[in-house]
Amino acid sequence: MFEGQPKGLYALALANTGERFGYYTMLAVFVMFLQANFGFSSALAGSIYSAFLGFVYFMPLFGGMAADKFGYGKMVTIGITIMFLGYVVLALPLGANNVAVGAMVMALVLISLGTGLFKGNLQVMVGNLYDEPKYAAKRDAGFSVFYMAINVGAMFAPTAAIEIMKWAQSSLGVSEADSYHFAFGVACLSLIVSIAIYYAFRSTFSHTDRGKVAAAGGDAANVKELTPAETKERIVALCLVFAVVIFFWMAFHQNGSTLTFFARDYTATSSTGIESMAFDVVNLVLAIFLVYGLFGLFQSATGKGKAISGAVILAAVAGLAYKYTTLPATTEVNAPIFQQFNACFVVALTPVSIAIFGALAKKGKEPSAPMKIGLGMLVAAVAYLLLTIGSLGLPAPEFVENAEGVMEPVHMANVSPNWLISTYLILTFAELLLSPIGISFVTKVAPPKYAGMMMGGWFVATAVGNFLVAIPALMWGASLTVVWGVLIGICLLAALFIFVILKRLEKVSK
Average pLDDT over residues 151-161: 83
Average pLDDT over residues 429-457: 85
Q: At residue 359, does pLDDT exceed 90?
A: no
Asked whether the beta carbons of 209 and 480 are under 8 A apart, the reply is: no
Q: At residue 212, does pLDDT exceed 60?
A: no
What per-residue confidence (pLDDT) applies to 387?
96
What per-residue confidence (pLDDT) applies to 296?
83
Burial group, residue 98, by CB count within 10 angstroms (0-12, 13-18, 19+): exposed
Query: Cα Rg for the chain, rounded, in angstroms?
Result: 23
Q: For residues 138 and 392, what is the distance between their CA atoms, to the nearest angstrom? A: 45
What per-residue confidence (pLDDT) applies to 221?
46
- Domain 7-216+228-269+333-508 - what CATH class? mainly alpha
Residues in the chain: 510
Percent of the chain predicted with pLDDT > 90:
41
Query: How crowded is the C-beta side of 473, counted as CA atoms within 13 Å?
Result: 26
Asked whether the beta carbons of 62 and 116 are under 8 A apart, the reply is: yes
- At 470, the amino acid letter reads A
Name the pLDDT band for 220 (thresholds 50, 70, 90): very low
Report which listed range, 133-142, 214-223, 325-334, is most confident. Answer: 325-334
Q: For residues 320 and 343, what is the distance between their CA atoms, to the nearest angstrom? A: 20
What per-residue confidence (pLDDT) applies to 246?
92
Asked whether the beta carbons of 436 and 144 are under 8 A apart, the reply is: yes
Name the pLDDT band for 223 (thresholds 50, 70, 90): low
Asked whether the beta carbons of 347 and 148 are under 8 A apart, the reply is: yes
Q: At residue 268, does pLDDT exceed 90?
A: yes
Q: For residues 72 and 59, what is the distance between their CA atoms, to the nearest angstrom? A: 15
Average pLDDT over residues 448-452: 79
Q: Determine if the pTM surpasses 0.85.
A: no
Mean pLDDT, rounded, of the chain: 87
Burial group, residue 256, by CB count within 10 angstroms (0-12, 13-18, 19+): buried
Report which listed range, 116-120, 446-450, 490-494, is most confident. Answer: 490-494
Question: Tens digit of pLDDT for each residue in 375-418?
Answer: 999 999 999 999 999 999 999 988 887 776 767 788 888 999 99
- Stretch among 175-189, 319-333, 395-409, 457-471 having the lowest mean pLDDT: 395-409
Name the pLDDT band for 453 (thresholds 50, 70, 90): confident
Grouping H, G, I as helix, E, B as strand and the rest as coil, residue 509 is coil
Question: Tens digit of pLDDT for each residue in 25-59?
Answer: 998 889 889 988 898 887 788 888 878 877 887 88
